[in-house]
């Protein structure tokens, strides 16, 4: 069995199959934070819970904060199970989702069994659980502190006020009208809701980019964060690359103003519809750092074996069919904070890899 | 061959009294009035028989339980009682079933996410030609629409087996005023009950 980190060790784990993303942080002294959730296909348990159990950490007492960066399916699958198990944890979600529009949406779709697999029913379960627990919920918004324990702090850097307003309009457009047939809710673009986090542990800074994209408006997206006069002006040595490394989430000034040169960079792939990161994205990221790691190859899952008859009919019917990559990869980095000049150690599961190995 | 010859039979007059029907001239298969073959159907069968040299071997004939020398018999004797053959009802043997959600709709194809309903396989993304959707279901093809995709064998009456791919969109009920109003109320309650800093 793997050993749990020491009290003096900071640890960041990123989990990701072909579709999904979750982060687990050890801030030290057995204080853990979970950001988003993805499911391990082997036992259908959220990947961060699997890992905590494997190193003999009790999530109920050790997880202090759970953050839902947004409501999209690839970031929220299994999050209600995490909330259920981590009974002492605070829960934080985007302030852009505390609107009548979003709550009506989750109420409409969360109750119907036909709506399974969309992020809204997961959110509905979470809100119900939190209500039963009578816990205070933290709303994440631009430059708001979500957690402070001694010299360890977690700040939200988004959404901005403008993004909250944009998200409300976007969510209102998702609300169904009377006499319109029922259909599933699909995630909308751009993502105005996403919560970027800045984790500060004494002199260390970690930047978690969630799925925030750049929309070319100074009131929102990455430009708003870069230009913010009130955010803590600290450069990060670890960077969770936003939105699966896509071009839409790239801004040159993030690399020059918010992270140190050659930062440890972590990302997950996305293989639903299109594949991210693309070759160009990989090349761009690798030009910024040679310490970028990805939880799995940005490619489809293994071909599913089916009977000849079924295969033949599939080929005759569809133009294209691809299976999701469900094997969860994990990249874990650790640093002993008590050691002067200590270096991060990187450990990966078999399917995770250094991004540079794909840059050929 | 004239069908009227059949209809003039006294047999039918007697049967009519036993099983009064709005359609006066029908041929029985067995004794159950539900098994009646309409006059129109009989006429089409007989007309087909005259024009189709392969009639003796067609599966349609088998499906109707018509014996091999039926045509000869009917010429000699205008009254025919056809013994009902035990027929296999239409059945569908599913080999693979998915539930799909429409993710995008393009000019001539649509993309959907498929959840395996047969095994425990991973979700899949597939592109279907719009032509795969029946004319009746086309109006249902929208973002977020839910459908079933079934691959299997279709056993039809007469023993024929067809390999089939069936895409059927779910005709889900429309949102009602009550549902929306109830959710708005619940949303308001949830908003009030959530304690924020």
What is the nearest CA distance from A210 to chain B, expressed in angstroms? 22
The CATH number given to B91-169 is: 2.40.50
Residue A53 has pLDDT above 80, yes or no: yes
Ranges A31-40, A110-119, B166-175: which has the least confidence: A110-119
C-alpha dihedral sign at B90, B96, B99, B104? negative
Query: Which of the four pLDDT bands, split at 50, 70 and 90, describes residue A116?
Result: low
Cβ-nearest to B125 among A130, A183, A272: A272
pLDDT on residue B182: 93
What is the Cα–Cα distance from A323 to A343, expressed in whole angstroms? 38
Burial class (CB in 10 A: 0-12, 13-18, 19+), A191: buried
Query: Which of the four pLDDT bands, split at 50, 70 and 90, describes residue B119?
Result: confident
Give the residue from B126, B131, B121 showing the smallest Cα distance to B101. Answer: B126
Residue B62 has pLDDT above 60, yes or no: no
What is the nearest CA distance from B98 to chain A, expressed in angstroms? 12
Query: Which of the four pLDDT bands, split at 50, 70 and 90, describes residue B35?
Result: very low
Hey, are the CB atoms on B196 and A98 less than 8 Å from each other? Answer: yes
In chain B, which residue's Cα lies nearest the Cα of A184?
B144
pLDDT tens per residue across span A201-256: 999 999 999 999 998 899 999 999 999 999 999 999 999 999 999 999 999 999 99
Burial B147-162 (b: 16+ CB within 10 A, else e): bebbbbeebbbbeeee
Mean pLDDT of chain A: 92
Q: Which residues of B touch A306 (CB under 8 A)?
A: 96
A304 and chain B: CB distance < 8 Å anywhere?
yes
Eight-state DSSP code of residue A38? -
| Domain boundary assignment for chain B | 4-76, 91-169
pLDDT on residue B5: 37
pLDDT on residue A284: 98
CB A224 within 8 A of CB A162: yes
For A56: left if phi > 0, alpha if psi spans -120 to 50, otherwise beta; the answer is left
Name the residue with higher pLDDT: B7 or A129.
Answer: A129
Hey, are the CB atoms on A182 and B174 less than 8 Å from each other? Answer: yes
- Residues within 8 A of B (CB atoms), A 261-280 only: 272-273
Paired tokens of B26: 């029908």
Name the residue with higher pLDDT: A148 or B39.
Answer: A148
What's the CA dihedral at B182, B186, B192, B195 to 10 degrees?
-170
C-alpha dihedral sign at A185, A189, A192, A198? positive
What is the Cα–Cα distance from A72 to A88, expressed in whole angstroms? 25
In chain B, which residue's Cα lies nearest the Cα of A128?
B190
Hey, are the CB atoms on B123 and A19 less than 8 Å from each other? Answer: yes
Residue B30 has pLDDT above 60, yes or no: no
pLDDT on residue A212: 95
Rounded to 5 degrees, φ, ψ at A46 are -55, 135
pLDDT tens per residue across span A319-347: 999 988 878 999 999 999 888 888 999 99
Cβ-nearest to B175 among A136, A180, A184: A180
Residue A82 has pLDDT above 70, yes or no: yes
CA distances from A30 to A26, A66, A156, B139, B197 (A): 7, 15, 22, 56, 25
Hey, are the CB atoms on B187 and A313 less than 8 Å from each other? Answer: no
Give the residue from A270, A323, A264, A336 showing the smallest Cα distance to A293. Answer: A264
Cβ-nearest to A317 among B165, B179, B183: B165
Q: What is the ipTM of this complex?
A: 0.86
Cβ-nearest to A326 among B104, B122, B144: B122
Q: What is the pTM of this model?
A: 0.81
Cβ-defined contacts of B163-166 (< 8 Å, 24+) = B163/A309, B163/A312, B163/A313, B164/A313, B164/B92, B165/A313, B165/A316, B165/A317, B165/B132, B166/B92
Cβ-nearest to A182 among B125, B129, B173: B173
Domains of chain A (ranges; CATH) run 9-358 (3.60.15.10)
């Amino acid at each position: 069995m793997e050993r749990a980190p020491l009290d003096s060790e900071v640890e960041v784990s990123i989990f990701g199959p072909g579709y999904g993303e979750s982060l687990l942080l050890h801030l030290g002294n057995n204080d853990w934070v979970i950001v988003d959730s993805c499911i391990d296909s082997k036992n259908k348990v959220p990947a961060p819970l699997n890992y905590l159990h494997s190193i003999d950490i009790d999530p109920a007492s050790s997880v202090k904060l759970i953050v839902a960066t947004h409501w999209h399916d690839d970031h929220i699958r299994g999050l209600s199970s995490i909330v259920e198990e981590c009974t002492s944890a605070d829960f934080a979600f985007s302030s852009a989702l505390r609107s009548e529009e979003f709550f009506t949406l989750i109420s409409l779709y969360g109750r119907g069994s036909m709506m399974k697999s969309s992020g809204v029913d997961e959110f509905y379960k979470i809100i119900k659980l939190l209500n039963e627990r009578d816990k205070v919920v933290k709303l994440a918004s631009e430059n708001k502190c979500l957690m402070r324990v001694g010299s360890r702090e977690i700040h939200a850097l988004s959404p901005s006020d403008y993004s909250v307003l944009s998200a409300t309009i976007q969510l209102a457009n998702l609300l169904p009208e009377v006499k319109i047939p029922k259909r599933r809710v699909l995630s909308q673009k751009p993502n105005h809701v996403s919560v970027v986090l800045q984790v500060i542990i004494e002199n260390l800074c970690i930047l978690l980019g969630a799925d925030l994209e750049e929309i070319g408006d100074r009131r929102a997206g990455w430009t708003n964060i870069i230009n913010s006069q009130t955010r803590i002006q600290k450069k990060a040595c670890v960077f969770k690359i936003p939105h699966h490394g896509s071009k839409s989430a790239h801004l040159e000034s993030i690399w020059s103003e918010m992270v140190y040169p050659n930062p440890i960079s972590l990302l997950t792939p996305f293989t639903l519809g299109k594949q991210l990161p693309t070759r160009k994205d990989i090349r761009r990221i690798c030009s910024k750092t040679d310490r970028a790691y990805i939880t799995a190859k940005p490619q489809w899952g293994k071909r599913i074996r089916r009977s000849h008859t079924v295969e033949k009919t599939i080929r005759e019917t569809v133009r294209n069919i691809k299976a999701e990559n469900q094997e969860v990869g994990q990249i874990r980095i650790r640093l002993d904070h008590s050691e002067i000049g200590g270096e991060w150690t990187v450990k990966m599961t078999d399917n995770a890899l250094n991004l540079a190995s794909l840059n050929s | 061959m004239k069908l009227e010859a059949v209809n003039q039979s006294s047999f039918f007059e007697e049967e009519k009294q036993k099983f009064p029907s709005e359609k006066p001239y029908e041929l029985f298969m067995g004794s159950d009035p539900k098994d009646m073959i309409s006059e129109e159907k009989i006429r089409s069968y007989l007309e087909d028989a005259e024009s189709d040299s392969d009639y003796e071997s067609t599966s349609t004939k088998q499906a109707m339980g018509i014996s091999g020398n039926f045509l000869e018999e009917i010429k000699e004797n205008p009254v025919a009682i056809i013994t009902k053959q035990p027929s296999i009802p239409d059945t569908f043997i599913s080999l693979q079933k998915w539930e799909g959600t429409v993710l995008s709709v393009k000019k001539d194809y649509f993309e959907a996410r498929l959840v395996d309903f047969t095994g425990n396989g991973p979700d899949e993304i597939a592109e279907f030609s719009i032509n795969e959707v029946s004319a009746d279901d086309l109006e249902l093809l929208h973002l977020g629409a839910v459908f079933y995709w079934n691959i299997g064998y279709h056993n039809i009456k007469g023993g024929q087996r067809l390999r089939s791919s069936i895409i059927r969109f779910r005709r889900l009920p429309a949102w009602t005023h009550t549902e929306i109003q109830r959710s708005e109320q619940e949303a308001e309650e949830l908003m009030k009950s959530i304690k924020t800093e």
